[in-house]
Amino acid sequence: MRLDAAGVGLRERTKVAPSLGLMHYALLLAGLGTALLGPILPLLATQWKLNDAQSGVLMLAKFCGAFVGGVSVSRNLRRSLLVGLTAGATGFWCFAVAPSMAVGCGSLFVAGFGIGQVITATNILAGRRFTVHRGSALSLLNFSFSLGAMLSALLAAWLLPHFTLRHLLEWFAGTFVLAAGALLAETRGAAEELEWTAPGTATSDKTQSGLGAQIYLYFAGLLFLYGGLETCLSGWLTTFALRYGSRTLVISEYTTLLLWMSLTVGRALASAIMLRVGERTVQRWGLALTAIFTAGLALSHSALLIAACSVLLGLSLAPFFPSTWALLMANSPTARQAGIVLAVSGLGAAALPWLMGIVSTGTGSLQVALALPLLTALALLTMSMSSSSTKRMTDFPEQHGV
């Protein structure tokens, strides 16, 4: 067995599927699919005559699907990735031709299921393949997810004035088909799924110790709240900017683009920072700044201030997922445990934006509804500052092999 540059053992680099390039592409598509609803939500609300509570149901459907997809990932991660890509293609094509909100919700559930499978399978594979500077490696890989989310807002602003939403969604479904075909091509003659192993470590769930109940619930709580926080901000930002800032759909879509662009840049910066600074330190500072900037967004009454807060929120949110996932993988979860923890983030992404829509409709103010993500950021910071649930973790990458 030989070692790659990251200290990961492998038998035949050229015969392992999925390749790193395909993993990046899969997360790019997952990012596009995750953030797609936000930029087009005002258009759908007009087309189907939806209020904010009903618009929140669309997010609920997609992220409930993501939860089911994540929690049902099998130990055969390569198969789960293929199932996810296939479901994504099917769901987004059906959403493209959906004649009503009810059909749209069902289609988004299927699409969300696919995204959940793709994100979970890819991140578990990456967490096992890279054992040296794991937080940095995961941040770099999830750069592709953030890039896809950024492109969703950019492409919506560029292409919707020239093409129908149906055609764009049909083309997007086709990109999942291409990814599934590439995976099948790589799979021919490839080594077994988990052939990548860290030297001296176990290769199967049967020999992994797994998480204790306290740490398991701790990480599940973190990911649940973070999934809701990120989606509350990205899912409602275009609508928020349209009402309180620019008053034009295209400019409002560019505001969401700024959020995802800064989050993408932030992931690249976080990858470099976590080579020298511990994951928990980066996580805590990011959460503190997120709470401050969310409050600033709620108090903004101009397009310029909303845009500035969007940029700052993207940068502060960027390190949370890769740092938290690295800390989770350092505690040696089984594939099932890791899949459930990540899937719970989809449940949070379904519930909290839906509740935000209900609050907005009930109070008549989306600004008041931003209190929900603000409280979520503060709750995450409180959990991160608590060390009683994370005794097995340290703040120094070299001490836990990250």
Residue 234's CB: how many other CB atoms inside 10 A?
27
Q: Would you state the pLDDT for residue 169?
A: 93
Q: Would you state the pLDDT for residue 190?
A: 59
Which residue, 71, 65, 60, is CA-closest to 30?
A: 65
Residue 264's CB: how many other CB atoms inside 10 A?
23
The domain locations on the chain are 19-189+209-384
If 0-12 CB within 10 Å is exposed, 13-18 middle and 19+ buried, where does residue 367 land? middle
Predicted confidence pLDDT, tens digits, the chain (402 residues): 343 434 444 444 445 668 888 989 999 999 999 888 888 888 888 889 888 888 888 988 998 898 899 888 887 888 899 999 999 999 999 999 998 899 999 999 999 999 999 998 888 887 777 666 666 677 777 788 888 888 887 888 788 888 888 999 999 999 999 999 999 998 876 554 443 333 333 444 444 556 788 888 999 999 999 999 998 998 888 888 888 886 676 677 778 888 888 988 888 888 888 888 888 888 999 999 999 999 999 998 888 899 999 999 999 999 998 889 888 888 878 777 887 888 888 788 888 988 999 999 999 899 999 999 999 999 999 999 885 444 444 444 434 333
Report whether 240 contacts 41 (CB < 8 A): no
3-state secondary structure 73-91: CCCCHHHHHHHHHHHHHHH
Report whether 136 contacts 275 (CB < 8 A): yes
Q: Which 8-state DSSP code applies to residue 14?
A: G
Q: What share of the chain is helix, strand, coil (3-state, %, to 5)?
A: 75, 0, 20
> CATH classification of 19-189+209-384 is 3.40.1180.10, yes or no?
no
Residue the block writes with tokens 């129908």: 164
Which residue, 396, 394, 9, is CA-closest to 200?
A: 9
**pTM over cut 0.75:** no
Q: Which residues lie closer than 8 Å to 249 by C-beta, 6 or more apart?
A: 42, 43, 238, 242
Q: Would you state the pLDDT for residue 77?
A: 84
Q: Would you state the pLDDT for residue 160?
A: 84
Q: Would you state the pLDDT for residue 402?
A: 31
